[in-house]
Structure 1
Amino acid sequence: MVQRRKVIIGAAGAAAGLAAAGFAVAGRAHGAKAAPDPVAGSWHSAAVPSAEPIQLTVSPAADADDVSPAEPVVVSLAGGNLQSVKVASGGTTVGGEVQSDGTWRSTGTLAYGKTYKVTASIVDSTGAAVEKTSSFTTVKPKAVAGITFQANGMGSLKTGGTYGVGQPVIVAFSRAVKNKAAAEKAITVETTPSVPGKFFWVNNTIVHWRPSKYWAKGTTVKVSVDALGVHLGNGTYGKTNAKTHFTIGRALVAISDNNTHRTRVYVDGKMVRDMACSNGKGGYTTISDGKQIHFWTQSGPHVVLSKERRHTMSSASYGLTDPTNPNYYDPEVVEYCTRISYSGEFLHAAPWNHSLGRANISHGCVNLSNADAQWVYESFLVGDVVEVRHTPKGLPVGDGLGDWTVSYDKYGT
């Protein structure tokens, strides 16, 4: 029968030497086999074999606290055979398996603010069963920040989706990030073909990543955020790890020229459509809160944010509510709307505009014919690029995805 002993580890990572020893009972060692003395005709006790020293190493160390839940539990052994390892907190057990080198390594995920007990079952060199235990406690955050991936501020990124060449990687944290360097270190962007890129923090919760120029068509983008256990500052830790991936479609770039009143669409470098347009008429007016607004279509690379078959537009949407103002207009349902800024710039159908291709008379949108607007609505992807040229007002970086309005050497600085 296997003899069982239980030993408690004093410190993880420390080696504990264990020896099997007999206990004297009436001139005979317990567990020893008596042998006759060929000379004296009497009996004496034979030597009892000793167990090889057991060297057990457990990481995290015994009694460690503030352990990152991302840290694996690793158990290694010399001087015996490791039979099993159990890592548990309360009724929750963390999975794991023996590696090729004979060590046991956890495969399950630890939780925040928990005490875990590690129990290692060993058979020593004499065949005796030995049990060793250790415990550690994971860090308890003040708060945790969840992670989501955005296509833009108006919608989530669809994992496995196809996007235009202007689509940046966008990672959103549910809580403010103080330690931005730690957050950036947790984010890995892998692209095929491989390209370098930079981070740009829109605010304390949202960070973008883009390459130096528009994506090449067909690029695959994989994003992983290993935030579990990462201290993001002020006691806030990453709630969990997250990952996503998407693909860049054909390279579509539209150029809307304010001077020529033409919007030309290029796919993979070839012009595929030349459309008459009417852009913002320009000028300023003051709205009810005293703020001054303008009516130019903003210059610079815009990125398609969304598409709506019909969208209700009115001057009130940008704060102009005074009916006596000559720029005021009532709500109107507009068709085939492709949004390119948060402030309300669209490419859309404008059958009332008889100056397409001749003059700029809109309130800031790119007005198109019904047929052209429908083609844009049906052909463009979220992430496609619309470059507006030759207007006196530039697109602010935060009005939509204005990432490409900033030169790469200044991006993120």
Structure 2
Amino acid sequence: MRGWPVATAKVRHGVLHGVHKSGWLVAAVAAVLVLGACSGPAKASASDPSSTAFSGTASTGPVSPAVTVPPMTTSSGGADPSAPDPGTGGTASSPVDQSGNANPDDTNADPPPTTTSADPPTLTISPTPGSTTVNPAAPITAVAAGGTLTSVTLVNPTENVQVAGALSADKTSWQATQPLGYGKSYRLTATATNDDGQTVTGTSAFTTLTPHNMTMPYLEYTGRYPLTNGATYGVGIVPVVHFDEPIADRAAAQRTLQVTTSPHVDGSWYWSDAQNVHFRPKDYWPAGTKVTISANVYGVEVGPGLYGQSDVSTSFTIGRRQLTVAEDSAPKVDTVTVYDAAGKAIRTMNTSMGKHGGVTVDGRYINFYTPNGTYTVLDHKNPQMMSSASYGLPADAPGGYAPEPIYYSTRISTDGIFLHELNNTVWAQNHGYDVSHGCLNLNKANAVWFYNNSLIGDPVVIHGAKGAPQLQFSEGGEWSVPWSTWLAGSAIR
């Protein structure tokens, strides 16, 4: 029997600075633009404020330059004891006796003026004050020279929210450790102080960009099923990143995708259309591999005005290696044999596959063969409601059937092919007759065993039926795609 669920849900600044020294005030104001370029947003890390969370991302939109605040000492309006006397044109002197000689013993003499040789500290703040299109994933930083940072705050004054940040070990640099929001206003204020107590404070008020549209990535596997964090999958699992908007710049989007494995496994991405990109190695995953899939799209422009909505990540483990091979040997008995990692057969089961031929309904040919190719286990349902109408054959048409529950159903294709229990075809299973609509019928004991002993992602290879079509990519045939073709499907060469 072949079918789909009857009802399915689509898974689908510078400011004044100064210091009192011996009764006189020094203040400074200045701003110098320092322009930096980047190939994409650098994501801050709390442990290393200058590090990035991924490499090779695409351009992510405008990134504002920094502002450097070097000190510029000006008069504060107080009297300078070393300056000429404006009344006499002379210079300040110590008391003198009647002979005109200085009196070294006069205890009322003023002390010599004090001076400082140290320059006040400077600040470099990014982004530039007044920027209105700051990328929310770009680095937000404050850097001190000639001193250390003594205070840094980054706030969204509208929502009264403070953004977390990290200070370097030497206290000379600070960086925000979380991305900002789209279309929001922020104020960054930093103060630096040197060893002489001189300070400088800088402030930058800015606004982040507002995307025209956003796209959310979903981490799935074949058939639009969600990947489960912490799950164990078979060696044939094919992770898929599904975007809920068509991606115009596939290379930009693909650069945000990261696959981390232990041990190292080479693989490649393959775009099946503008919204779905699949990942697989050349051969099956090694058993025991630890895999983490990440889509770091936030702040990345993946089409004109289209930005990533949020970063997502999930981790899973590859389980034991198990391979199932089904042979359509009619008129001899069809068999399903399950092999372990050493290639030893651990169970052989009789089956009945798809009856040969097909029918034409409303100009569309419906094939009853079980296609040849490499499938993977996609889902387990007990029971699974099935109906011929789910693949286009009306229940009242010849060969059609009304919705009914089918037990111990293990799905292996997106168009409704299962290994499942069907005891009323045991006679066909044991005598080499193909009577199903494409599914592999099993007796109850075998259906239960396969249901309980297969992992999602286990490969199932079907071959032998003469005249049967080849499993298509859209039906779950990722492993039937030649490796050279798969590599050509990447947006990055």
Q: TM-score, normalised by structure 2?
A: 0.76
- Residue from 469, 475, 483 that aligns with 1:393: 469
Contact persistence 2:28–2:72 (CA under 8 A):
no
Q: Structure 1: which 5+ runs fail to align?
A: none
2:178 is aligned to 108
CA distance in 2 between partners of 1:85 and 1:37 (Å): 50
Compared CA separation, residues 43 and 394, structure 1 to 2 (3 A): same
Contact persistence 1:57–1:75 (CA under 8 A):
yes
**Letter of the aligned partner of 1:317 in structure 2?**
S
Q: Secondary structure at 1:207's aligned position in 2?
A: strand
**Letter of the aligned partner of 1:80 in structure 2?**
G
Compared CA separation, residues 326 and 134, structure 1 to 2 (3 A): closer
The offset of 1:87, in angstroms, is: 1.5
- Residue from 147, 163, 168 that aligns with 1:94: 163
CA distance in 2 between partners of 1:26 and 1:169 (Å): 74
CA distance in 2 between partners of 1:129 and 1:15 (Å): 11
1:202 is aligned to 272
Contact persistence 2:121–2:198 (CA under 8 A):
no
Compared CA separation, residues 43 and 321, structure 1 to 2 (3 A): closer
1:297 is aligned to 370
CA distance in 1 between partners of 2:406 and 2:309 (Å): 42
Q: Show CA shifts across 1:261-310 (max 9, x none).
A: 111011212211001111001112022x3211110011101111111111
2:346 is aligned to 272
The offset of 1:67, in angstroms, is: 2.6
CA distance in 2 between partners of 1:244 and 1:105 (Å): 26
Compared CA separation, residues 49 and 23, structure 1 to 2 (3 A): farther
Q: Show CA shifts across 1:344-394 (max 9, x none).
A: 111011111111141211111001111101101111111111111023211
1:84 is aligned to 151
1:286 is aligned to 360
Compared CA separation, residues 20 and 394, structure 1 to 2 (3 A): same
Contact persistence 2:293–2:313 (CA under 8 A):
yes
CA distance in 1 between partners of 2:358 and 2:406 (Å): 24
CA distance in 2 between partners of 1:277 and 1:54 (Å): 81
Compared CA separation, residues 66 and 234, structure 1 to 2 (3 A): same
Q: How does 1:134-283 map to 2 (within 5 A)?
A: 134-259=204-329, 261-268=334-341, 269-283=343-357
2:478 is aligned to 403
CA distance in 2 between partners of 1:364 and 1:142 (Å): 46
Instruction: Give the aligned CA root-mean-square deviation in angstroms.
Output: 2.6
CA distance in 1 between partners of 2:310 and 2:284 (Å): 31
2:44 is aligned to none
Contact persistence 1:297–1:364 (CA under 8 A):
yes
**Letter of the aligned partner of 1:99 in structure 2?**
S
The offset of 1:155, in angstroms, is: 2.3
CA distance in 2 between partners of 1:315 and 1:405 (Å): 26
2:77 is aligned to 23
CA distance in 2 between partners of 1:9 and 1:112 (Å): 27
Q: Show CA shifts across 1:295-336 (max 9, x none).
A: 00111011111111112223222222263x431223332211
Contact persistence 2:381–2:408 (CA under 8 A):
yes
Contact persistence 1:18–1:54 (CA under 8 A):
no
Contact persistence 2:125–2:202 (CA under 8 A):
no
Q: Show CA shifts across 1:225-277 (max 9, x none).
A: 21111111021111122111101111111111112511101121221100111
CA distance in 2 between partners of 1:312 and 1:47 (Å): 92
Q: Structure 2: which 5+ runs fail to align?
A: 1-17, 34-65, 84-91, 104-108
Identical pairs, percent: 35
CA distance in 1 between partners of 2:224 and 2:239 (Å): 14
1:383 is aligned to 457
Q: Secondary structure at 1:410's aligned position in 2?
A: helix
Contact persistence 2:122–2:200 (CA under 8 A):
no
Contact persistence 2:32–2:69 (CA under 8 A):
no
Q: Show CA shifts across 1:131-179 (max 9, x none).
A: 2112333222111212221133342111010011111121122222111
CA distance in 1 between partners of 2:320 and 2:80 (Å): 92
CA distance in 2 between partners of 1:160 and 1:322 (Å): 41
Question: Quick check: 1:74 aligned with 2:141?
Answer: yes
- Residue from 352, 374, 380 that aligns with 2:448: 374
CA distance in 1 between partners of 2:295 and 2:405 (Å): 41
CA distance in 1 between partners of 2:93 and 2:225 (Å): 85
The answer to which structure has the higher strand fraction is: 1
The offset of 1:194, in angstroms, is: 0.9
CA distance in 2 between partners of 1:188 and 1:36 (Å): 76
CA distance in 1 between partners of 2:80 and 2:349 (Å): 109
Contact persistence 1:7–1:131 (CA under 8 A):
no
The offset of 1:28, in angstroms, is: 8.4
Q: TM-score, normalised by structure 1?
A: 0.90
CA distance in 2 between partners of 1:6 and 1:377 (Å): 76
CA distance in 1 between partners of 2:402 and 2:395 (Å): 10
Compared CA separation, residues 24 and 264, structure 1 to 2 (3 A): closer
**Letter of the aligned partner of 2:168 in structure 1?**
Q
Contact persistence 2:256–2:295 (CA under 8 A):
yes
The offset of 1:10, in angstroms, is: 5.7
2:392 is aligned to 319
The offset of 1:63, in angstroms, is: 3.9
**What count of residue pairs does the alignment treat as equivalent?**
406
Of stretches 50-59 and 403-412 in structure 1, the one that deviates more from structure 2 is 50-59
Compared CA separation, residues 198 and 95, structure 1 to 2 (3 A): same
* Greater relative CO (CA pairs within 8 A, separation 6+): 2
CA distance in 2 between partners of 1:166 and 1:388 (Å): 14
Question: Quick check: 1:122 aligned with 2:192?
Answer: yes
**Letter of the aligned partner of 1:378 in structure 2?**
N
Q: How does 1:332-343 map to 2 (within 5 A)?
A: 332-343=404-415
The offset of 1:64, in angstroms, is: 4.0
